[in-house]
Structure 1
């Protein structure tokens, strides 16, 4: 088939590689000329432990103490209330115990094969060092916080990931990087990270091109005609929408409802001269900050800012990240490169993955929230099955867009 994919982020590229390797003629349509999507600025963490959707009673209970003005990572800018207030109401409605349990079951099944799928894709990309399955650390700064954090993680379902208290040697390795010693830490196994996001993007694009794929700069639109989805000016038998936060507006053109929001994250990067190359990501949980070493840089990332994708960034958030780095005494010196990107998030914190029941030739794969990198490879495999009318390797009913309303049939 001739297949057009909207979006060249990590999910779109994973879908494109899977489809091209299956023998289809695939063209990616990408509106951006740079790597400014959330795919290329995230923490690099393959988060197999995050099986609990953030739409939950626990999240709602803890929201106030996580607010940005109180020192937390949750930001609800007044200027963007028109975007986040309707989303917050939908999220609250999706956070009932019953909905949370159902969502967790669906997300757990998806995450169980996330790392194996990445290992399969990593082998295809021909870079054996790209996917590193060395786990990650979670650290706390005081004994009280360490005890509380450890108890919370012990009460949490972490799926296929496991953790144990950090060994004396591991704790010493973390403390060798901090002027303010951490009081406790745990080490996860069964999670992983990407060695370098830039290298990942290059490897994925190269593999796609080797499979005769094509990437076209294009601000694609979607229209409906005769029960089909069409992109004006593009000949395609099948269309895959993997455009991140802008996907909701596209699928709305053919009758779907996808109440997606831009969940904006921030990071700072600097040269990695003094950060160990073999140290996996460290989550400083008291500060809601994750630090990741890439090939030549080290990155500190944080914040959950609900709003619109194109609003100006809030420079105070970069400044707070720089202050966290300074207060911890981490060996990360400026000048810092500053970045902000928008995670595509749906109210129930489940992705939208499926074949449209409203037009015959449309597949969607977006809304992966914090798990876009984590779920990219397995999403690509699922989309390949859907394109070839083969039952996917796991149940995806919970990710059907019809959960947000509609007749449930082809309109």
Structure 2
């Protein structure tokens, strides 16, 4: 352990109020830090609220993989798939794609799978602890999820892929004919095959989750400031936060957990953050409360989730800039899937948000080498909700100078090297 980081800390600042930021702030407050959470007020387009609500403990294989690179062409949006590479943003996504291809080499993929597995095997227990402490254990539904296919050919191929994949602490069984018929009865397409996972889960209400975490943080004495952080500056190996009005906020520990905006704070300090805004879209409509577990329609690359407050159809992987206007064609594609599935999406609300994604599809969790009091926790791509609770616990251990339960080395930003391309 680094002794220069082991001075007795008393105060902490967390930048970012998404689910990772809230879990981190809560873990720090419970660890004895007087913690301040800083984020602009009124942000609603975060991935924390727009995701599918799926606790995806089965996704131990990083999406930066040899198989993903080989099959990217047929998954392009223009070919009917869910992967969008907008020409208008080519200057943003082309360097990222080059880095992704480098990160997909077999040795790096294998190492990433080991690292991700170590986090994911602790994800569900961490959520149980956090929600029990917050008095909101009912928000976690541990009923697994379902993956289905609509043709015999895709069912055979999909089942073979999952049988060859590592799924961590989850397990799955093939759906019987009767179970396929039961799923088919709720949609307007035939179900030729499917599998049911156990060990994964769902959050019943994402807004209620955020409210529960915020209430517990406040109840423990935590403070939130609704302001924008203008910059982090380092003097004499000590980082300090500067707000948009120029005011200065020092702390014994500062954690950058600002999702897709994290790079804007860390890059000026000389850190390599080769992150992209991997934008996702959803439609959310009225429906009965939670009934079926999340259902992945793998042929369509969409997931359908029933929440307490309605039904959501989510999908699309769009590489680009955070500030690029939404593409209505993406919502139209989701609407077409909803109509084909016979789902009640008339009058559905539309959402777009940016997943913070690094080229190797591992999060960035660790200590920043430029300052003794600066840490970071972001870049969780599709697993932000899944890994938020365990990330908070890991960061709190690092902030105390304690030995963490998970080796943080694979998640250090230093893995990207001096050029951000992943060269060692």
1:225 maps to 235
Q: Give the TM-score normalised by the residue count of structure 1.
A: 0.96
Q: 1:311 aligns with which of 324, 346, 369?
A: 324
Cα offset, 1:171, TM superposition: 2.2
Structure 1 unaligned segments of length 5 or more: list them: none
Cα offset, 1:242, TM superposition: 0.2
1:320 maps to 333
Deviation digits for residues 328-363 of structure 1 (CA, Å, limit 9, x no counterpart): 212x23101000000000011111101122211101
Between the aligned partners of 1:161 and 1:119, the Cα distance in structure 2 is 16
2:109 maps to 100
Between the aligned partners of 1:326 and 1:82, the Cα distance in structure 2 is 35
Residue 344 (1) aligns with residue 356 (2)? yes
1:366 maps to 378
Residue 402 (1) aligns with residue 417 (2)? no
Between the aligned partners of 1:117 and 1:71, the Cα distance in structure 2 is 38
Between the aligned partners of 1:314 and 1:322, the Cα distance in structure 2 is 13
1:52 maps to 61
Between the aligned partners of 1:128 and 1:355, the Cα distance in structure 2 is 31
Residue 287 (1) aligns with residue 297 (2)? no
Between the aligned partners of 1:120 and 1:193, the Cα distance in structure 2 is 15
- SS of 1:264's equivalent in the other structure is strand
User: Are residues 403 and 42 of structure 1, via their aligned partners in 2, closer, same or farther at CA, if it must alter by over 3 Å?
Assistant: same
Cα offset, 1:125, TM superposition: 1.6
Between the aligned partners of 2:309 and 2:108, the Cα distance in structure 1 is 43
1:297 maps to 310
Between the aligned partners of 1:271 and 1:68, the Cα distance in structure 2 is 27
Between the aligned partners of 1:406 and 1:249, the Cα distance in structure 2 is 17
Cα offset, 1:133, TM superposition: 0.8
Between the aligned partners of 1:32 and 1:315, the Cα distance in structure 2 is 27
Cα offset, 1:215, TM superposition: 1.3
Query: Which ranges of 4 or more aligned residues in structure 1 deviate by more than 6 Å?
Result: none
Cα offset, 1:34, TM superposition: 2.9
Between the aligned partners of 2:43 and 2:410, the Cα distance in structure 1 is 33
Between the aligned partners of 2:97 and 2:345, the Cα distance in structure 1 is 37
Moved more, 100-109 or 172-181: 172-181
Deviation digits for residues 107-141 of structure 1 (CA, Å, limit 9, x no counterpart): 11111111111111111121221111100000111
After superposition, residues 215-294 of structure 1 pair within 5 angstroms as 215-220=224-229, 221-232=231-242, 233-273=248-288, 277-294=290-307
Deviation digits for residues 30-72 of structure 1 (CA, Å, limit 9, x no counterpart): 1241332111100101111111111111110000000000000
Residue 129 (1) aligns with residue 138 (2)? yes
Between the aligned partners of 1:297 and 1:372, the Cα distance in structure 2 is 22
Deviation digits for residues 356-403 of structure 1 (CA, Å, limit 9, x no counterpart): 222111010000111101100000000110111001001111001111
Say if 1:350 and 1:367, in contact at 8 Å, map to a contact too: yes
Structure 2 unaligned segments of length 5 or more: list them: 1-9, 243-247, 420-424
Between the aligned partners of 1:394 and 1:123, the Cα distance in structure 2 is 22
2:173 maps to 164
Between the aligned partners of 1:224 and 1:343, the Cα distance in structure 2 is 28
**Cα root mean square deviation, aligned:** 1.2
2:367 maps to 355
Moved more, 10-19 or 247-256: 247-256
User: Are residues 225 and 22 of structure 1, via their aligned partners in 2, closer, same or farther at CA, if it must alter by over 3 Å?
Assistant: same
| Corresponding residue pairs, total | 404
Q: Give the TM-score normalised by the residue count of structure 2.
A: 0.93
Say if 2:284 and 2:345, in contact at 8 Å, map to a contact too: no
Between the aligned partners of 2:54 and 2:372, the Cα distance in structure 1 is 35
- SS of 2:313's equivalent in the other structure is strand
Q: 1:14 aligns with which of 19, 23, 29?
A: 23
Say if 2:284 and 2:310, in contact at 8 Å, map to a contact too: yes
Cα offset, 1:310, TM superposition: 1.1
Cα offset, 1:406, TM superposition: 4.2
Between the aligned partners of 1:235 and 1:358, the Cα distance in structure 2 is 16
- SS of 2:138's equivalent in the other structure is coil
Deviation digits for residues 160-206 of structure 1 (CA, Å, limit 9, x no counterpart): 11100123453233112112221111100010110110110111110
User: Are residues 90 and 32 of structure 1, via their aligned partners in 2, closer, same or farther at CA, if it must alter by over 3 Å?
Assistant: farther
After superposition, residues 38-187 of structure 1 pair within 5 angstroms as 38-187=47-196
Between the aligned partners of 1:147 and 1:81, the Cα distance in structure 2 is 36
Between the aligned partners of 1:392 and 1:401, the Cα distance in structure 2 is 17
Say if 1:229 and 1:254, in contact at 8 Å, map to a contact too: no
- SS of 1:52's equivalent in the other structure is coil
- SS of 2:108's equivalent in the other structure is helix
